[in-house]
Structure 1
Amino acid sequence: MLRSHTNGQLRIDDLGKEVTLSGWVQKTRDLGGMTFVDLRDRYGITQLAFNMDVDASLCEEARKLGREFVIQVRGKVIERSSKNPGMPTGEIEIDVDSLQVLNSSKTPPFTIEDQTDGGDELRMQYRYLDLRRNQPRKNLELRHKMSLEVRNYLDSANFLEVETPYLIKSTPEGARDFVVPSRMNPGEFYALPQSPQTFKQLLMVSGYDRYYQIVRCFRDEDLRADRQPEFTQIDCEMAFVEQEDVLRTFEGLIKHLFETVKGVGFDGDFPRITYDEAMEKYGSDKPDIRFGMEFNEMNQWAQNKGFRVFDDAEVVLGIVAPGCAEYSRKQLDKLTDWVKRPQIGAKGLVYVKCNEDGTFKSNVDKFFDQNELALWAKETHAEKGDLILVLSGQVDATRKQLNELRLHMGTALGLRNPEIFKPLWVVDFPLLEWDDETERFHAMHHPFTS
């Protein structure tokens, strides 16, 4: 072994031990009589100490080390004179008596730090360097731990893990297949599976009533933020069950993963809402319920008042942004420009400020008097100091636009804490959805996997 310990392992209890460490040079500090080197591996960082008065030639060697050099050192664990409470190994350092360069390195194109100076494109070009950073390492460790806990939970529930083939016959599913030419059969092709659907159905009729697989799937689709050509899914199938059995089984899985991986527990059952309710309240089939700002349909109070934007619309929808009545004209103009971006697609934004003195200020107050705006505030449950934001148009498009605005305001107001989790089930999805582009109905979700 080229090391006796990792760089995140040694503590104050290890004082006096002779150790061998290996790893990458994070940084060096030349202080004249002393040179310090931070040695890194995936377990942590240990400080190495070189003293000119003790071994000048060794200290000179240490000063020649560059970032990301791979080295091996031997030495004794000693107590640091200047401790670093922010590091697990911050109470000790290694008094080095032997140094060997295992591999030198060119200067990296970006710093291997949590806050790196490398952009996304550069880091992807040098992915092997980017993976040395803490955040990618933590992501891989999280994925590894989740895979272990998925297997532990499903095994305890009598699921059987079965690997299914990757080279299969093409079957009609929701996207285009990736194809692989067959060497043995010229002119013919295998397809890479979009899901193991056919095989798990075979397992069910063969009597394997509980199957799972952490499986790679391939779909030849355009890239989106939440869609990639290849991805991993927890694929399961159950026989002799009803909807309630499926929901409870996988609610249990989700709770198990949060508890074992994140240390987060949930009280009681996850809330359930129907698809229709989710769309009416949030404009999304995967709503963020960590904060309010539910939709208010305002047709009854906003239409037939001479404001054609509202009068000609299928629906008028509003949300209440708490405590935002103090928004300046500049802030409101910026918000209007945001919803008019092509990614959102709204034609404009109507606002009503609910002032602390009980009056109302709106960009449409030439069409709506104070009494009418007061009715808006009453019906949307807006309080003094709140801001009502309103969009109108075709139902599906307006819901989608207001959902984006709701999430944007939730983020801006600090209401979407990434350490708070509120799972829910959305049930009773429609089977089919009309697509204007292709002028036909298509499945809202895969009928076998939704």
Structure 2
Amino acid sequence: MHAYRSHTCAELNKSNVGETVRLSGWVHRVRDHGGILFIDLRDHYGVTQVLCDPDSPVFAEMEKVRAEWCIRIDGNVKARDEDLVNPKIPTGEVEVFVRDLEVLGAAEELPLMVFGDQEYPEETRLKYRFLDLRREVMQENMKLRSDVVTSMRKRMWDQGFREYQTPIITASSPEGARDFLVPSRLHPGKFYALPQAPQQFKQLMMVAGFDKYFQIAPCFRDEDPRADRSPTDFYQLDMEMSFVTQQDVFDTIEPVLRGVFEEFGGDRKVDQTWEQISYAVFCLKKKTDKPDLRNPIKMQIVSEHFRGSGFAIFAKLLEQDGTEIRAIPAPKGGSRKFCDRMNKFAQQEGLPGMGYIFWREKTADAVAQELGITVKEAQAKLKSGEVEGGMEAAGPLAKNIGPERTEAIRQQLGLNVGDAAFFLGGKPKAFEGVAGRARTTIGDELGLTDQNRFAFAWIVDFPIFQLDEENGGLDFDHNPFSMPQGGLDALLGDPLHVKGFQYDLACNGYELLSGAIRNHQPEIMFKAFELAGYGKNEVIKRFGGMVNAFQYGAPPHGGCAAGVDRIVMLLADQENIREVVMFPMNQRAEDLMMNAPSEPLNEQLRELHLRVIPQE
């Protein structure tokens, strides 16, 4: 018999009754039923119930066993009584009577329990990640991640791509985030960088004639952490193709990702048609470039209804240049209770509050005031039908701007009795983040968002340039290596009107993918950087390898990169990316388990010709 196991803890069934078997695993749970010990023995594959009574030669040793001890047992497979069968597990028809025991690894008192669904602080979970990962949900998340990556690889090979590896140590390259620098021992005072992405290398591969490349690529960025982003490293499905248009890239990657979501998304619907939406159009309606199409709410500009109105806050605001008022419709949200809840949400977001109007059936008080009669008389007229109730607008804004403006807003937004609208004003960049989150919250709380769907949208036509508010000059708004729509001629006109062949793919409010058709012609690249304030020599200094390569017959090419971690997070129905990463950092970019980052030894610093300057 094998030294540790003849079967896994998921294999035994009725056909094994009467056999002598050997199992190894962790003690998941111990139950003492009147002198008979029942132990759920767990390994990576499943759970088998084993039992031991005083007739067993190792009963005394089994009494000492505790949760999460790693043990090996030998025993006889027995059929469970019919009323004790557990249909929830594959081994639920049998149990193993223990004849021999070996403790492979005893466990000290546990800082967190593996059995059950108790909540523990994230710091505890990350410090003892090796225990946290033993929990069933974490085992399933990591298996899902592995299966998703395998599926991606197979689907890319089926599309005619080959996987190639790119360097992990390379030159520093500004790509939107901070680099992790690596000091060179052989070249004192110089530094390598960990790649933010394989961007330049994959483009150089296209110049070298490798027509279709992909890689499950590690990427390193020194970023501030978020729930959907790692602060240090992440993995992406990276791809590049030669002789392609933007639509060719879409047609290639769509079946890969759609197939992955269909394979692992359970019973959730997956959109078959992926809408393409202009960046400018979608930002206006949803106030985000990461749209959640499951949410039907569309924001609208309603500035004219407040200009010169009795609501002084908005009226005075609109006297300033570049300001506007936007409305977030809330169908079925027409109650003071819900409006107060959203007002509290705005305060938690750092705002004084959020203006609102809600529409309700006209009250007897309103009818009485309108007709100059008592409330009791109004109630009687409403009940008899002598007077039609109709609807009325309620809330502080409605009182300030009056019925005509309120009715105009209702008609513009297409709202009725039982609905509400919320309002935010100012310069759009100052409030659009809160507006986007408010839209999401309203959609979720009112049940408007379809939670059983993966909804995809391509965001296209990104602007290449933006105004730098500090110096009034131009800066790159998005990827500086994107080919401008219209080529060199477009750059000779108004730069703020130039769109790029750049695109993002959003799903359920998350950005899953970014990509572009690349700017592969040096003269167009130099002109684009010149407009952003970078001279030719500066471009050559920063991107010399790529610029040099483009002078030797560079093909048109483009591609994209899809975030593996974020895709798995959506498929696993998790809200935090750390739930699908094996060994993540905490919110302060620290590895509590391995104690990283750590202070270097003096010998290491001397070898690297470095000195650490103490913080004041």
Is this a same-fold pair by TM over 0.5? yes
Secondary structure at the counterpart of residue 144 of structure 1: helix
Q: Are the equivalent residues in 2 in contact too, given 1:114–1:134 (CA < 8 A)?
A: no
- Match of 2:214, as an amino acid? Y
User: In the alignment, what sits opposite 1:41?
Assistant: 43
Rounded Cα–Cα distance in structure 1 between residues aligned with 2:69 and 2:80: 24
Deviations 1:116-167 (A, max 9, x none): 3421110111111111112222221121111111111111111121101111
Pick closer, same or farther for the CA change 1:171–1:319 going to 2, 3 Å: closer
- 2: CA distance, partners of 1:383 / 1:10: 62
- Give the aligned CA root-mean-square deviation in angstroms: 2.2
Q: Does 1:243 align with 2:252?
A: no
Q: Secondary structure at the match of 2:455?
A: coil
Q: Compute the TM-score of the two structures, normalised by the length of structure 2.
A: 0.68
SS class of match (1:424): strand
1:259 counterpart = 2:259: no
The answer on 1:90 being equivalent to 2:92 is: yes
Provide closer, same or farther for how the CA distance between residues 440 and 20 of structure 1 changes in structure 2, counting only shifts above 3 A.
Answer: farther
| More helix as a share of residues | 2
Residues 258-290 of structure 1: CA distance to partner in whole angstroms, max 9, x if unpaired?
123335664642111111111111000011111
2:188 aligned with 1:181: no
Cα distance change on mapping 1:231 and 1:378 into 2, 3 Å? same
**Are 1:319 and 2:328 counterparts?**
yes
Alignment of 1:152-301 (within 5 A): 152-227=154-229, 228-262=231-265, 266=270, 268-301=272-305
Amino acid paired to 2:68? E
Q: Does 1:20 align with 2:27?
A: no
| TM-superposed deviation, 1:388 | 1.4
Q: Does 1:376 align with 2:381?
A: no
Supply the AA of the counterpart residue of 1:118: Y
User: Which of 454, 458, 461 is the equivalent residue of 1:421?
Assistant: 454
Structure 1 residue 47: Cα displacement: 0.9
The match for 2:343 is: 336
Task: Report the CA distance between 1:111 and its aligned residue.
Answer: 0.9
Shift of the 380–223 alpha-carbon distance from structure 1 to 2, 3 Å rule, reads same
- Which 4+ runs in 1 deviate beyond 6 A? none
Q: CA deviation at 1:413?
A: 3.0
* One-letter code aligned to 2:261: F
Q: Percent identity, aligned pairs only?
A: 36
Question: Shift of the alpha carbon at 1:398?
Answer: 2.9
Contact 1:111 1:118 in 2 (8 A): no
3-state SS of paired residue (1:354): strand
Correspondence for 1:410: 443
C-alpha change, 1:438 and 1:96, in structure 2 (3 Å) is farther
2:343 alignment partner AA: T
Report how far residue 23 of structure 1 moved. Answer: 0.5
Q: Determine the structure 1 residue equivalent to 2:354.
A: 349
Q: Is the 8 A contact 2:329 2:413 kept in 1?
A: yes
Q: Which runs of 5+ in 1 are unaligned?
A: none
Is this contact kept in 2: 1:255–1:265, CA < 8 A? no
Taking structure 1 as the reference length, the TM-score comes to: 0.92
The one-letter amino acid of 1:128's match is: F
Q: Deviations over 1:50-98 (max 9, x none)?
A: 123x32x533322211111000111222222312233332222112222
d(CA) in 2 for partners of 1:267 and 1:122?
A: 39
Equivalenced residue count is 444
Partners of 1:132 and 1:384 in 2: how far apart?
A: 52
Moved more, 111-120 or 151-160: 111-120
**Residue in 2 that maps onto 1:306:** 310
Q: Which residue type is aligned with residue 131 of structure 2?
A: L
User: Which residue identity lines up with residue 86 of structure 1 in the other structure?
Assistant: K
Residue 368 of structure 1: SS of its match in structure 2? helix
Q: Check conservation: 2:333, 2:446, Cα contact below 8 A.
A: no
Structure 2 unpaired stretches of 5+: 363-390, 482-514, 517-616
Letter in 1 for 2:265: K
CA 1:60 to 1:431, structure 2 compared with 1: closer, same or farther past 3 Å? same
Deviation at 1:12, TM superposition (A): 3.2
Answer with 1 or 2: which has the greater Rg: 2
Structure 2 distance, partners of 1:12, 1:372, is: 75
Q: Is the 8 A contact 1:167 1:191 kept in 2?
A: yes
**1:59 — aligned with what?**
59
Q: CA deviation at 1:5?
A: 1.5
Is the contact between residue 111 and residue 117 of structure 1 (CA under 8 Å) also seen in structure 2? no
Give 1:444's aligned residue: 477
Select 1:118's aligned residue among 79, 101, 120: 120
Q: Describe the shift of the 1:29–1:230 C-alpha distance in structure 2 as closer, same or farther (beyond 3 A).
A: same
